[in-house]
Amino acid sequence: MDCKMMKTQLPSGNYMPLIGFGTFQIRGRALIRNVLDHAFAAGYRQIDTAAVYGNEQDIGTALKELLPKYNLKREDIFITSKLSPSDQGNAALRALQTSIKNLDCGYLDLFLIHWPGVHGIRGSHPDNQKLRSLSWETLIKSVQQGLVRDIGVSNYTIPHLTEIVSKNYNVKVAVNQVEWHPHCHEEDLKQFCQNEKILLQAYSSLGGSSNLKLLSDAVVVDVANKLEKSPAQVLLRWALQQNIGIIPKARSKEHIEANIDLNFVIPEEDMNKLSNLRTVEKYAWDPKSIS
């Protein structure tokens, strides 16, 4: 199957493309418009953003121009945004409404609690658990109101996920978006998500925005040379081949197109090599400090 067509069904019954376009650190009306133009042309149909990225309004403006250009309707694309750590608790509903207004998209396909902690509260404080639980209960109501089709989380560990799963809420966790790449992949978290039918979605698939350590890893480079692909393509395909969602971001037309050009297979032997690299390193924030 063409990887551009690969989708997974979420608890609502709606389908989410496994490859999305990430917009972290991509800001400015002209830049957003240009990268989304290239992304739609290349075949992306999922856009991933967040309140803290500061680009929702510019994405909304770009969509008004670009959807007609590509003969697309709102329902043809999948839009994800995320709850700011400063809006945990009762403020979650208002924050979701603000994201919808900024994106000018009518509803969200997916809304994630961006971080298990609360801005301004130390990681060990019990209010983190209290407020993120309140956020989840608030977002359940937003699903029932039709503001968002599915809800999920980001940067959640197994204990954080267990809090939600153990309460048997009538709306299930659709997605857990976490840092995931050959230098940082917790197999027990992957297994937990599979058991609970939670889609694991990777960010920092290439090892972070400015760190080239993963892209230059000798094993990654060797596999890329063998397959006549770029190291970035190999890293993205490594996740996709495990049915893990990916949201690569890029600014150049060349990289945007390459990041979705993943119609190849990494042999099992090479998959095992990539999954068992000696380097174990996390390049983004670590949620394990949040109780």
Tokens of 138: 């608030």
Is the Cβ–Cβ distance between 41 and 254 less than 8 Å? no
Is the whole-model pTM more than 0.85?
Answer: yes
The SS3 of residue 75 is helix
CA 80 to the chain's CA centroid: 8
Q: What's the token pair of residue 215?
A: 């892209």
Q: How confident is the model at residue 4 (pLDDT cuts 50, 70, 90)?
A: confident
Say what the pLDDT of residue 120 is: 86
Whether the CB-CB separation of 287 and 155 falls below 8 Å is answered with yes
Helices (H) and strands (E) counted in the chain, each on its own, are 10, 10
> Please, are residues 62 and 95 in contact by the beta-carbon 8 Å criterion?
no
Q: Which two tokens stand for residue 114?
A: 């961006």
Q: Which entry of 44, 53, 156, 203 is annotated as an active-site residue?
A: 53
Q: Which domains does the chain have, with CATH numbers?
A: 3-289 (3.20.20.100)
For the stretch 148-192, pLDDT in tens is: 999 999 999 999 999 999 998 989 999 999 999 999 999 999 999
Q: Strand, coil or helix: what is 35?
A: helix
Q: Is the CB of residue 112 less than 8 Å from the CB of residue 92?
A: no
pLDDT score for 11: 96
Q: What is the largest CA-CA distance in the chain?
A: 52
State both tokens at 157: 């560990």
Question: Over pLDDT 90: what percentage of the chain?
Answer: 92
* Predicted confidence (pLDDT) per residue in 180-239, tens digit: 999 999 999 999 999 999 999 999 999 977 788 999 999 999 999 999 999 999 999 999
List the structure tokens of 255.
């990289």
Q: Give the residue ranges of DSSP H helices in the chain.
A: 29-42, 56-69, 92-103, 127-144, 158-165, 187-195, 218-227, 231-240, 253-258, 268-275
| DSSP label of 198 | P
Classify residue 247 as exposed, middle or buried by CB count within 10 Å of its CB (0-12, 13-18, 19+).
Answer: buried
Separation of first and last alpha carbons in the chain: 41
What integer pLDDT is reported at residue 100 of this predicted model? 98
Residue 22's pLDDT band, with cuts at 50, 70 and 90, is very high
Mean pLDDT of 58-80: 98
Give the mean model confidence (pLDDT) for residues 83-109.
Answer: 97
> Residue 7: what are its φ and ψ, rounded to 5°?
-135, 160
Mean pLDDT of 71-96: 97
Percentage of residues of the chain with pLDDT beyond 70:
100
Phi-psi region of 25 (alpha: psi -120 to 50; beta: other; left: phi over 0): left
Q: How many residues does the chain have?
A: 291
pLDDT average, residue stretch 95-102: 98
203 flagged as catalytic = no
Mean pLDDT of all residues belonging to the chain: 96
Flag whether pLDDT at 129 surpasses 80.
yes
pLDDT at site 187: 96
Confidence of residue 44 (pLDDT cuts 50, 70, 90): very high
